[in-house]
Amino acid sequence: MSKKSDMHKQRQAIKAITEGMTAIPAGAGTGKTSLIIEGISAVLASSRKGITTSSKILAVTFGKKAAKEIKQRLKDAIGDKANNVIASTLHSHAASIVRNNAKVLGFSKQFSIIGDDAVIRALKRICASQNLSLTEKQLDEEYDAIELFKAKGLFPNQIAPDSEYRLKQLYKELQETLMSANCLTYSDLILYACKAYEEQYEPDGQWEQIFVDETQDINPAQYAFIQYLAGKKANICMVGDDDQCIYGWRGADPKLMQRFTKDYSAKICSLEQNFRSTGCILKAANSVITNNSDRIQKELFTKRDNGQPIRVQRLSGLYDEACFIAKYIKKRLKEFQGSKKKS
Ligand SMILES: Nc1ncnc2c1ncn2[C@@H]1O[C@H](COP(=O)(O)OP(=O)(O)O)[C@@H](O)[C@H]1O
Ligand SMILES: [Mg+2]
């Protein structure tokens, strides 16, 4: 028996968004980002108390490119009404909160945001000043462990007393060094933004509705930050796919979606119809992801036909894979342009 279309489920989800807290666990290509776009239009069109203007709606995601895509898709859907909706990354919000509270947090407003390499260099200098000789591998491990503390929202003075002494000391020294150099890492932005809220930042109740795309990639510190952003007023809609979590090694926890449903008694609207891929691709994807442990059970289906069979190509590494795909796309584009000219 063929599965019923999920379109009615999408409509139910949009209704739920206009009514309150909503969690949308859904697979790849099921229209998660489309739902955010439609959800924003629906919230604007609804008479829900409080939502008077699009400037009270915030959509956050990971990466500037994804945020830009939301803004563009929203513009295509609702035109000028989209102008005041804020679509951005969690980190850019955190940065502006840290900037507004820089002094009380121990920084100056002109702080720099630094990447992994600069932090590793700082750690190396700290080790050298303490006559601590660590191999590159050990240094990387210490750095990863520090990042995991940050992902959990823990400052050095908040980590368990039984944690390894050297790691704790390194973390403490690192934070002091970064602060005196007026530098923050991306994970620091979230940590300090939460601290600003905890200690003195007055939430201005700016947001009435918050959408979170790619929720599977958030970590507990980011979840806490979203809760601060929402305050007591805003409704939250979280959209994500636990099978697509790519930042687990950095502390992202796809289970936070489940925690959200409990913390806020959120309505769960799941989606399984894939609108993007052919049957053959979906079948292969299903049989791969079914091996993931501890996942929310879902079986993606499509109404599209099987399409072309999948071609398997063994290649020797990331670079070769990228080149192979780029060449293939180039070839197909040429073929496509050639056939367009003919017709
Ligand atoms: N109800 C629908 N009917 C037809 N196509 C849809 C529907 N919802 C989404 N799509 C299309 O499916 C594709 C995947 O949607 P997207 O929102 O990017 O999915 P996801 O964020 O879940 O990966 C897009 O091309 C989108 O336009
Ligand atoms: Mg998406």
The residue range of the domain holding 36 is: 7-94+194-289
One domain, residues 123 and 145 = yes
The DSSP string of 143-209 is HHHHHHHHHTT--GGGS-TTS-HHHHHHHHHHHHHHHHTTEEEHHHHHHHHHHHHHHT-------SE
One domain, residues 13 and 80 = yes
User: Is residue 324 assigned to a domain?
Assistant: yes
282/271 Cα distance (integer angstroms): 15
- Candidate of 6, 8, 275 to mutate for ligand 1, largest count of ligand atoms within 8 Å of Cβ: 275
Of the candidates 66, 228, 224, the one whose C-alpha atom is nearest the C-alpha of residue 152 is 224
User: Is residue 304 assigned to a domain?
Assistant: no
What residue ranges line ligand 1, CB within 6 angstroms? Answer: 7, 10, 28-34, 275-276
Residue nearest to atom 1 of ligand 1 (CA): 7
Which residue's structure tokens are 């803004």?
A: 71
Domain count, the chain: 3
One domain, residues 281 and 320 = no
One domain, residues 90 and 211 = yes
Contact assessment for residue 305 and residue 279, using Cβ atoms and an 8 Å cutoff: yes
Of the candidates 196, 195, 148, 145, the one whose C-alpha atom is nearest the C-alpha of residue 170 is 145
One domain, residues 36 and 152 = no
User: Is residue 308 assigned to a domain?
Assistant: no
One domain, residues 174 and 43 = no
Neighbouring residues of 97: CB distance < 8 A, sequence distance ≥ 6: 193, 196, 197, 201
pTM of the entire predicted model: 0.88
- Candidate of 34, 40, 246 to mutate for ligand 1, largest count of ligand atoms within 8 Å of Cβ: 34
pLDDT (tens digit, 0 to 9) for every residue of the chain, 343 residues total? Answer: 446 677 889 999 999 999 999 999 998 899 999 999 999 999 888 865 555 567 789 999 988 999 999 999 999 998 888 888 889 999 999 999 999 999 999 999 999 999 999 999 999 999 999 888 889 999 999 999 999 999 999 999 998 877 787 889 999 999 999 999 999 999 999 999 999 998 877 666 688 999 999 999 999 999 999 999 998 889 999 999 988 888 888 889 988 999 999 999 999 999 999 999 999 999 998 888 888 877 777 788 999 999 999 988 999 999 999 999 999 999 999 998 888 777 7
Tokens of 105: 């947090």
| End position of a domain, from candidates 150, 181, 212 | 181
23/118 Cα distance (integer angstroms): 37
User: Is residue 67 assigned to a domain?
Assistant: yes
Residue nearest to atom 7 of ligand 1 (CA): 31
Distance from Cα 245 to the centre of ligand 2, integer Å: 13
